[in-house]
Amino acid sequence: MATETVVNDPIHQFRLHSLFDLFSVGGHQISFTNSALFMGLIVLFITGFLLMAASKAAMVPGRLQSIGEMWYSMIHNMVNNVLGEEGKAFFPLVFSLFSFVLIANMFGMFPYFFTVTSHVIVTASLALFVVGLVVVVGIYKHGLGWFKLFVPHGVPIVILPIISVIEIISFLSRPISLGLRLFGNILAGHIVLKVFAGFVVSMIAAGGIIAVSSVLSLGMAVALTALEFLVAFLQAFVFAILTCVYLNDALHPSH
């Protein structure tokens, strides 16, 4: 791939390439791709960082340990506030989801790094997993009574069927909204960022007054970078808190 294509093509950053092929299942080639490499790096980074943060176990935390504790406490409080005492079992899951999405998004902010969460299969799988877990845990804990979730209390019998249909549709749209929100935000952000950064290069290449005004495009790219860092954190946070809210339906279906 020529360098020029890399500069001008905002889609190039999402391209997967196989680092080595493993095996094929039912005609589908399973390969270790750049995406898989970055997934591995994400896991390594999270584990390594948090283990380092916890290694001293000081009574008065240092900088690294403070970050680790804040990271832990934020999700711990979130799970506690939304799910209550019974939600303790889901804390490692919510923590893993948040950390995975957060570090995937943050890694995506580095040039030449692959953004794992910019692929819909990753975000949609995580979202489907969460909603699937809600159904499984809900039925496991409450049996068929869990389906009362779709039959709200105190609704007149006449409009109950309509409400139930709406509730079911809203429930089924959860994995779509949860997965697409993250995917869309990261994808769009990266494309826009790349487009503005690409403008800088093309405008300078054009020369003259256009080259001077490329400063505007550069400013925009800088501002968008800051915004993308915010979005990277915010989307991870939103993903985690929505996971908690959905899991709450599994634990306490009567609302």
List interacting residues with another protein (CB under 8 A). Answer: 1, 5, 8-9, 11, 14-16, 18, 25, 28-33, 35-36, 39-40, 42-43, 46-47, 50-51, 53-54, 57, 59, 61, 65, 68-69, 72-73, 76, 91-93, 95-96, 99-100, 118-122, 125-126, 183-184, 187-188, 191
What does each C-alpha distance from 245 to 104, 122, 131, 228, 253 come to in angstroms? 22, 21, 11, 25, 11
Dist. CA 90–CA 92, nearest whole Å:
6
Smallest gap from residue 74 Cβ to another protein (A): 12
Smallest gap from residue 222 Cβ to another protein (A): 24
Element (H, E) at 19: strand 18-25
What does each C-alpha distance from 254 to 2, 18, 151, 204, 232 come to in angstroms? 58, 48, 9, 61, 33
In the chain, the amino acid numbered 61 is: P
Dist. CA 39–CA 36, nearest whole Å:
5
Tell me whether residue 25 or residue 158 sits nearer to another protein (CB atom).
25
Tell me whether residue 151 or residue 201 sits nearer to another protein (CB atom).
201
Smallest gap from residue 243 Cβ to another protein (A): 13
Smallest gap from residue 22 Cβ to another protein (A): 8
DSSP state of 85: G
Tell me whether residue 76 or residue 181 sits nearer to another protein (CB atom).
76
Smallest gap from residue 120 Cβ to another protein (A): 5
Tell me whether residue 49 or residue 150 sits nearer to another protein (CB atom).
49
Smallest gap from residue 146 Cβ to another protein (A): 24
Count, in order, helices (H) and strands (E) of the chain: 8, 2
Q: How far apart are the first and last CA of the chain?
A: 55
Dist. CA 223–CA 193, nearest whole Å:
9
* 102's tokens: 């957060």
Tell me whether residue 90 or residue 146 sits nearer to another protein (CB atom).
90
Contact 103, 46 (CB under 8 A): yes
Smallest gap from residue 67 Cβ to another protein (A): 11
